[in-house]
Amino acid sequence: MLLELPYITSYDPITTSEGSLDPLGLYLIADRLATKLAPGVRERMTQPRYLTAMALGAHICHPFYSEYADDGFTPAYQVYEWHIVEGFVSKYLQNDPDQIQGLPGIQKATEALQNHLPLRSSRYLKTANVFGFHGVYRTLSTELKVVSEDYIIQEIGHELLLAWQEEQKLHGVYTGNGAWIDKVKLFRNGVNDSMNKAEVARNWYWEVHQEFASYLRPNTIEKKEAQIILKALSSEHQPFRKQMIDFLKSTEGQNAWRNQRSEKQFMQQFKNTADQELKQLLEVIDVYEHFARCFQDAFDSCLHQMSINGKANHNELAEIEAIKRASTELPIVFSKIEEGLAKYDMHHEFIKQFGDFETKMHPKEWVMQMWTHHNKIQKAKGKVGKRNWFERSDDGQYRVYKNNEIHKPVELSNEYLHNYRAIPLWSFLVNLKVVKDGQS
């Protein structure tokens, strides 16, 4: 018997919560595997210099590190971040934007600058504690012991600030009685005043936050500062991450990444150099990615079929090649994934999410099971759930929402669907001047 989705009386383009990303719930396990491979590192990370910026913020905000701005919810470090972002944008956006490439929040800051309005919570990132540079780099900062969760400078943060002070000739910025001790006081007073107003209390072109920003440009890391970050990243305490960095530094690893930029091909070559424990993890990643890719290609191919005429019937979807591939191959790899994930206590989540695809089904049945799964995933998002990417009406047609249409035919792929931190680690090594980017 085929599974049945609930019908709606007619095609009704619901206008509530949009569909969101990850419509099949494939990301969570991939992210946990990537975290196992490279602890602390996240996909959005590109510039290790923000670790030093966070250490400086902990120093600047130390007298009031546990306090909040007058709005009642913005922490001191976030007010410091507003100042640094204003300094970056006002100094470099117009004349030298390459200096701040990849700066989190740059678009919102640009809008505020153009409107001559100071940054504040409502004019910055909606979830700044996640998407601002403190949010993006927080996991790595705490993992490397740069800044603690409660925003206190840790061992590596202390080393970074000493090296930064020495190499940039900023005597007094952290230790000693040099000229920069007075600028720290000015900056600290500026942040404190901004907390009292719950917005930046200095003008966009304030010399102090521009000057601090100029010495924190992401691509100007000097030798000692770079060595401290690289040594922390390559710690023996995280052997998987260390092996990955060591491989990226090697001639073979550099060529493997530069020439192809393919996570799958890179991981296959990386596996040849890995120890036995790491090989097991890489094998689990490989088989899970085969599962994820087949699943996503099948889903996207259905959206494409619906997008041709705005709708498609059940028989048309069941005849799609990607559906046939998924219905055949997912059951084959299911037990291998379950067994591999059990080593890391992730198999329960996998079974809970995807257990309905353990047994082989006819393509027609598989299509219905996929849509039921998608509906379940969307309902579980947030407090009220997210809208499906399609609906099935009482005339038996599947109809895709306009925002989710795919007009270009889906090319079936064997590439990984998710990223496993080769991109941010490579970017780190480029910025630390350990490797050179570009084709070899």
What is the tens place of the pLDDT at every residue in 24-46? 999 999 999 999 999 999 999 99
270: exposed, middle or buried (Cβ count in 10 Å: 0-12, 13-18, 19+): buried
pLDDT at 392: 82
pLDDT at 51: 98
DSSP-based helix, strand, coil % in the chain, nearest 5: 60, 5, 40
Cβ count near 359 (within 10 Å): 10
Low-confidence stretches of the chain (pLDDT < 50) are 1-19, 440
CB-based burial, 249-269: b 16+ in 10 Å, e otherwise? eeeebbebbbeeeebbbbbee
pLDDT at 232: 98
pLDDT per residue as tens digits for the range 348-388: 999 999 999 999 999 999 999 999 999 999 999 988 999 99
Give backbone dihedrals phi and psi of 250, rounded to 5 degrees, phi first: -70, 160
C-alpha to C-alpha distance for 42 and 388, rounded to whole angstroms: 28
C-alpha to C-alpha distance for 115 and 112, rounded to whole angstroms: 5
Long-range contacts of 174-183 (CB under 8 A, 24+ apart): 174/56, 174/59, 183/208, 183/211, 183/212
Chain length of the chain? 440
Cβ count near 372 (within 10 Å): 15
SS3 392: strand
pLDDT at 74: 96
Determine if the pTM surpasses 0.85. yes
